[in-house]
Structures are given as C-alpha cells and as structure tokens.
C-alpha cells in the first residue's frame, strides 16, 4: 500500500477500536479492565493516520513546487486486492461475535482453582448472590463452610455433558476471549424439565456436598441443590473476571 492507503487503514482500525471501546462491543473480546488501553490504542492509531496523511500531503505539495508546473506524476499503482485488508475492520464494527458458550464449555476443562482466601460473606435476609466461580471455589475447596444454611443465587448459561447432566457455566477471562476457560457448577434438585444449551438462567438453591470430576481435565465440579430457576437475558458482560484475582 502507498502512504495514503496506509493512513486510511490506520484510521479505520483506530476508529474501530474507539467504537468498540466506547460501546459494549469490546466486552466480547477483552475484559472490562482493558477498556482504557483499548481507547488509548485507538486514539494513537487515529493520530498516526492523520499525521501520515498530513506528511504525504506536504510531500506532494513540495514535489509540485519543485517541478514548477504542478504536474501530477503517476506513481506506482498498488494492487486493489490490498484493500481487502479493510474488510475485517468493517466486520469488527458491524458484526459483534457471540460470547463463548456451551460448545466451548463442554470441550474445555474447568478453570476452577483453589482460592487463596475466603472473604466473609455479607449477611442477607434474601438469597446471597455469588459469582459462579466464587460459589464453586467455596463449595469445592472450602467444603461449603461459609455457605451452610444460606440460600444462594447464581447466574450463568446452561451446558449439558454427554450424559445430559446440566451445568451452570461462566467463561472466565484472564485477558481476552482467546484465553477464556469455563467454571462449571453442576445442577441437581428442582431443575427445569427442558433445558436448552446456552440458555441463561438465574438459579436459587443451597449448598450440597456432591461433586464430580470434569472429564476433560479431571478438575473439580461442585453442585448446587436447585430450588428455583428462571431464564434471564444475556448479561451486559457475559464473562467472569473474578476467578483468578
């Protein structure tokens, strides 16, 4: 590409990053904490594009002044196929990819790790809302000591293993969607008779000592004794960033 084309591509890429950073689109690619870096990168690319275009304009004006006539000199034509590089940028802007779901969850081993500590849980008259990873860590490694006698509320999407056992899952991010791994909680008790994979549910239940092993990596999968379940919309941020903190 010539410099004008390079400037155009840089500008489009920077604009795409700014668009993603100022909307919820970036949450499909990276964790929320990286939003400032994403916006900064977009701003730098836009600035570089404008500087490149300005430099090219100055060079053109200088060349016209040197020949004294202002004749336009034909440069080397770049292949038009190089503009196909712009297509992924339009895809980034126009098509938001779906968050990773049950297909990835059933083919990837659980990312559950033993927590370094178990912070005190708040007192609550109603159900205690926990992240899937928080409940899973306390249930699998803390043996439910902080959960006994509490009604627990979890939100995640449904995944079914080969035997039909339902799991409530959240995909955990370390940095971006490319390294996402599932944290799984098995569901038992009053489970809805028909469960569709990738359906988002908020379930209420109580701790149970039942556990199983993930067939992919032999990791621990604790269970929740479900007392009620209801479908919910996909959340603002479908990924869980708390599991490795």
Do 226 and 149 lie in a common domain? yes
* pLDDT value for 207: 96
Question: Where is the domain boundary, 77, 94, 111?
Answer: 94
Do 84 and 152 lie in a common domain? no
Question: What is this structure's pTM?
Answer: 0.66
* pLDDT value for 244: 44
In CATH, what number is assigned to the domain containing residue 125? 2.40.50.140
Q: What is the pLDDT along the chain (245 residues), one digit of tens a residue?
A: 566 667 777 777 777 777 666 676 665 666 666 667 767 877 887 787 777 777 777 777 777 666 555 454 454 555 565 566 666 666 666 666 666 788 888 988 998 988 888 888 888 778 999 999 999 999 999 989 889 889 999 999 999 988 889 999 998 876 665 667 899 999 999 999 889 999 999 999 999 999 999 999 999 999 999 999 999 998 877 776 554 44
Joined tokens for residue 243: 């599991």
Question: Where is the domain boundary, 94, 112, 133?
Answer: 94
Question: Quick check: is 245 in a domain?
Answer: no
C-alpha closest to that of 113 among 188, 217, 223: 217
Do 126 and 168 lie in a common domain? yes
Secondary-structure breakdown of the chain: helix, strand, coil percentages, each rounded to the nearest 5: 40, 25, 40
State the residue range of the domain holding 197: 102-240
Please tell me the distance from the alpha carbon of residue 141 to that of residue 52, in angstroms, as a whole number.
56
Whole-number Cα distances in Å, 134 to 35, 129, 140, 147: 24, 10, 10, 11
Cβ atoms 202, 155 nearer than 8 A: yes
């Amino acid at each position: 590409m010539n410099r004008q084309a390079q400037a155009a591509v840089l500008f489009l890429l920077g604009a795409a990053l700014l668009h993603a950073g100022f909307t919820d689109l970036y949450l499909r690619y990276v964790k929320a904490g990286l939003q400032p870096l994403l916006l900064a990168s977009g701003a730098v690319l836009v600035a570089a594009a404008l500087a490149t275009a300005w430099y090219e304009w100055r060079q053109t004006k200088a060349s016209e002044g040197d020949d004294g006539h202002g004749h336009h000199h034909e440069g080397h034509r770049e292949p038009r196929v190089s503009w196909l590089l712009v297509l992924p940028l339009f895809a980034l802007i126009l098509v938001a990819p779906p968050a990773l779901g049950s297909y990835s969850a059933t083919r990837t081993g659980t990312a559950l790790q033993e927590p370094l500590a178990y912070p005190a849980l708040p007192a609550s008259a109603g159900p205690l809302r926990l992240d899937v990873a928080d409940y899973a860590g306390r249930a699998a490694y803390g043996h439910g000591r902080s959960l006994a006698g509490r009604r627990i509320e979890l939100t995640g999407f449904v995944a079914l293993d080969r035997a039909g056992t339902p799991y409530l899952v959240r995909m955990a991010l370390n940095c971006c969607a490319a390294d996402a791994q599932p944290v799984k909680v098995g569901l038992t008790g009053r489970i809805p008779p028909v469960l569709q994979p990738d359906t988002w549910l908020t379930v209420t239940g109580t701790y149970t000592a039942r556990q199983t092993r993930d067939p992919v990596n032999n990791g621990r999968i604790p269970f929740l004794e479900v007392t009620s379940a209801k479908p919910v919309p996909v959340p603002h941020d479908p990924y869980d960033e708390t599991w490795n903190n």
